[in-house]
Amino acid sequence: MKRMKEEMVKRADRLNALLQGSGVRVEYVEKNHGNQLIDAYMVKYNDSKVIPSVSYAPRWYDLPDEEVAAYLEELGKKEVSVDLDKYMDPEYVRSHVYPLMIGASCREQVERGNFLYRLRDDFLIMYYVEVKIQNGPGPDSLEDGTLKLTYPVFRMTGLSEEELHTLAFENMARQTEVILLSDALRGIFEPDTDTQVLPVYVVTGRDREYGAAGILCSSVYRQLSAAFGEKFVVLPSSLHECLAVSLADVEDPLFYTMMVQEVNHEAVRKEEWLADHAYIYDGRNMTRIE
């Protein structure tokens, strides 16, 4: 498993180098498929409101990088279609809408795209609906996708903004996982048994996609406050996850902001940044540590 992940991460880097300038890129993810996690690639297209969320890797194993990159670039040029009447039906939306948390620095871009959002401290909460997208003729061309809600599309649902927000976080709470980082890394990295490891929790989605918003679920706060107390530190890791640690574990909490900045600049694509600071969270407000 570890070797497969390493190979796929390296291949993603090679594919993105080949795809540079095409508006298409791939990212390695672990996808919940049935009852097991499988290795997969998420395919993203720039300036697209509807994106195929995941293309599974097995069909690519025996193909050269150049052929896979050419396939992805061609796929990105295709017009995709979504049955809005079907997917904006309020009953469908009620069980398939989720929140997406991004940095407030993206506000101008979000407003230019006319996306529905609300401001929460240093973050924007957007909303997306799980859909099937049609990449061509026939049932075999259907792929999983996400539709980020613009104001005109949202109005088709007949729901109020407050209803949508509540439903999105209710759905998010059901698929958010809070796991110890040491458990998440078991089998990949084994810490020195003689070293005392401070507890760090990972908050993410069960599908490992857009899971950072789970940190705002009241059920997640209750779970983390039981471990750390009423206030704790949140490290925005990426769009897909946040880390939570105790406020009492270091003398100067600014250490955590320095950690976030170091990871952002060395290991996270800028478009995946949530913020460049750590935060103290009390279940209501995210207070920037600076």
Q: Is the pLDDT of residue 237 over 50?
A: yes
Q: Is the pLDDT of residue 192 over 80?
A: no
Q: Between vectors from CA 127 to CA 145 and to CA 233, what angle results, nearest 5°?
A: 115
**pLDDT grade for 79, boundaries at 50, 70 and 90:** low
Q: Which of 107 and 48 is assigned the larger pLDDT?
A: 107
Q: Which of 262 and 209 is assigned the larger pLDDT?
A: 262
- How much is the pTM? 0.74
Measured between its terminal Cα atoms, the distance across the chain in Å is 39
Q: Which two tokens stand for residue 72?
A: 């992805």
Q: Which two tokens stand for residue 262?
A: 């170091």
Residue 222's SS3 state is helix
The pLDDT value given to residue 191: 54
Q: Is the pLDDT of residue 34 over 60?
A: no
User: Is there a contact between 42 and 51 (Cβ–Cβ < 8 Å)?
Assistant: no
Q: What is the mean pLDDT of residues 113-127?
A: 93
Q: Quick one: which of 124, 57, 131 has its CA closest to 97?
A: 131
Q: How many CB atoms lie within 10 A of CB 51?
A: 21
The pLDDT value given to residue 132: 79
CA dihedral 265, 120, 116, 102 (to 10 degrees): 10
The pLDDT value given to residue 53: 45
Measured CA to CA, the distance from residue 154 to residue 128 in angstroms comes to 10
Q: Report CA torsion sign: 199, 240, 8, 30.
A: positive
Q: Is the pLDDT of residue 215 over 70?
A: yes
CA atoms within 13 A on the CB side of 249: 19
The residue to which tokens 């976030």 are assigned? 260
Which of 128-137, 142-151, 227-236, 259-268 is predicted with the least confidence, judged by mean pLDDT? 128-137
Q: Which residues of 153-182 are buried (b: 16+ CB within 10 A; e: fewer)?
A: bbeebebeeeebbebbbebbeeebbbeebb
Mean pLDDT: which of 19-23, 177-181, 234-238, 283-287 is highest? 283-287
61 burial class (0-12, 13-18, 19+ CB within 10 angstroms)?
exposed
Q: Side chain identity at 104, as an amino acid letter?
A: A
Measured CA to CA, the distance from residue 100 to residue 128 in angstroms comes to 7
Measured CA to CA, the distance from residue 145 to residue 182 in angstroms comes to 31
Q: Quick one: which of 185, 212, 217 has its CA closest to 268?
A: 212
Q: Alpha carbon of 230 to those of 56, 89, 221, 233, 285: distances in Å?
A: 41, 39, 9, 10, 12
Q: Is the pLDDT of residue 145 over 90?
A: no
Q: Is the pLDDT of residue 161 over 70?
A: yes
Q: What is the mean pLDDT of residues 277-287?
A: 93
User: From the CA atom positions of the chain, what is the Rg in Å?
Assistant: 19
Q: Which of 31 and 218 is assigned the larger pLDDT?
A: 218
Measured CA to CA, the distance from residue 6 to residue 1 in angstroms comes to 9
Q: Is the pLDDT of residue 162 over 90?
A: yes
